[in-house]
Amino acid sequence: MSNRGKEILIWAILVIGLGAIVFGIYGAVAQPGEMNGDVSNLIAPITADDRTKGSEAAKAVFVEYSDFECPACGYFYGMIKKLEEEKGDAVRIAYRHFPLAQHRYARVTAQASEAAGAQGKFWEMHDILFEKQEEWSKSTSIQQNLLGYAMEIGLDVDQFLVDVQASDIDEKIDRNVAMGTAQKITGTPSFFLNGKLIQFRSYEELKQLVEVELSK
Amino acid sequence: MKKNLTIWVMLALSITGFVDSVYLALKTLFGSPITCSAFSGGCDIVAQSKYSDFLGVPISMLGVLFYAAIIIVITYYLQRRTIKSLEWIVYGLLFGGLFSLYLLALQAFVIEAWCLYCIVADAIGIANALLAIRLLRMK
């Protein structure tokens, strides 16, 4: 082959190679939800172990894997809250813990929510943690923040301090994480609506998904 | 290390940097709607910070263009062996090394979160710059 021919061949290989890298990676990242067909079905249905809110007769049942320190979970919290207000009894939600390793306070806040749950105030703690996420996630004294929230929602603070460190709460969080891992969820929040993994970017999209379920 | 080997190592590093940056850029552009990924380490925090853009262009996209340009110039140099193209490689990589240091400093001191894929791209940038300094000394 002539030198010119060789040069052209090398450039062609280079262009095709770089292009193949781009397309290969694009295929892998573009649609994460739809790629894993079998894991898009919820494998662990709601049990008495789950923290749930809403009517058992609800036609739209959500299961959420979430992390209190995850900014995206904080963002979607507002949408779910609005949906609950708008749809009332038609919506039921179960919250499962999936604290991520990169969030330093994800575990302790999950423990705090369960400790509040031991006094029947899981959802109150859940709400305040998401609403004040910006405040405590940057805090250097998380214990103080959590104590403050415990008082704010009217918990027995001494009992709360004992429960936060209770091993059964820790084990429950581990059970939730194990379920999420078995489900192969790729991040938080992961929402399942009536057993199907869903993705939405706005409140309108969420509402549409719910209305389809309600009309069934 | 001989000059030729140094160039080939630079090429291999740049291809790795290209793959890494393409992943980050595509993830930013087409990835699932805002989530905290279980596998990305702190990449969400870094990628969602206001420092993830440079004059409106995602940093990862700049990485893709930078590494693609370096790969092209190195390929050109390996064929033609011109001094001019060697200079382009050396100065390009020195600039890339400095920019990588800036990005690492941002993660360490400003965003206070680390993203593994960004660290890989930055480490390659710095390693390439060190090789470029070596080449300069050989001249």
In DSSP notation, A161-203 reads HHHHT-HHHHHHHHHHHHHHHHTT--EE-EEEETTEEE--SSH
pLDDT reported for residue A182? 92
Q: Of the candidates A194, A200, A178, A208, which has an alpha carbon nearest to the alpha carbon of residue A63?
A: A194
**Distance separating alpha carbons of residues A94 and A63, to the nearest angstrom:** 5
Tokens of A185: 């969820």
pLDDT reported for residue A38? 60
Number of domains in chain B: 1
**Does any CB of chain A come closer than 8 Å to the CB of residue B116?**
no
pLDDT means per 10 residues, chain A with 216 residues, are: 87 95 84 53 93 95 95 91 93 96 92 98 98 92 96 97 96 96 90 91 89 92
**Distance separating alpha carbons of residues A96 and A50, to the nearest angstrom:** 7
Query: Which distant-in-sequence residues (6+ apart) come within 8 Å of B48 by Cβ?
Result: A71, B34
pLDDT reported for residue B12? 97
Contact A182, A28 (CB under 8 A): no
Q: Of the candidates A160, A93, A153, which has an alpha carbon nearest to the alpha carbon of residue A121?
A: A153
Residue ranges of the alpha helices (H) in chain B? Answer: 3-30, 43-47, 59-80, 83-105, 116-138
Nearest CA in chain B to A185: B38
Residues of chain A contacting residue B71, judged by C-beta atoms under 8 Å apart: 14, 18
3-state SS, one letter per residue, for B15-29: HHHHHHHHHHHHHHH
Residues of chain B contacting residue A67, judged by C-beta atoms under 8 Å apart: 36
Contact A186, B35 (CB under 8 A): yes
A22–B35 C-beta distance less than 8 A? no
Residues of chain A contacting residue B38, judged by C-beta atoms under 8 Å apart: 98, 100, 185-188
Residue ranges of the alpha helices (H) in chain A? Answer: 3-29, 32-35, 71-87, 106-117, 122-131, 133-137, 142-152, 157-164, 167-182, 203-214
Contact A68, A109 (CB under 8 A): yes
Which CATH number covers residue B56?
1.20.1440.130
The boundaries of the domain holding residue B7 are 3-138
Positions in chain B whose pLDDT score sits under 50: none
Give the A-side interface with B, CB within 8 Å: 7, 10-11, 14, 18, 21-22, 25-26, 29-33, 67, 70-73, 75, 98, 100-103, 185-190, 199-201
The count of other CB atoms within 10 Å of the CB of residue B105 is: 11
Residues of chain B contacting residue A75, judged by C-beta atoms under 8 Å apart: 34
Find residue A92's DSSP bridge partners: A61
pLDDT reported for residue B31? 61
Residues of chain A contacting residue B40, judged by C-beta atoms under 8 Å apart: 187
A186–B22 C-beta distance less than 8 A? no
Q: How far is CA B25 from CA B58, B72, B119, in A?
A: 7, 19, 14
Q: Of the candidates B105, B109, B85, which has an alpha carbon nearest to the alpha carbon of residue B97?
A: B105
**Distance separating alpha carbons of residues A186 and A33, to the nearest angstrom:** 9
CB pairs under 8 A between A and B: 83
Tokens of A40: 């898009």
Q: Of the candidates B33, B29, B19, B20, which has an alpha carbon nearest to the alpha carbon of residue B52?
A: B29
Judging by DSSP bridges, how do beta strands A91-97 and A187-188 pair with one another? unpaired
Nearest CA in chain B to A25: B23
- The CATH classification number of A39-214 equals 3.40.30.10
Query: Which distant-in-sequence residues (6+ apart) come within 8 Å of A61 by Cβ?
Result: A46, A91, A92, A93, A94, A193, A194, A195
**Does any CB of chain A come closer than 8 Å to the CB of residue B113?**
yes
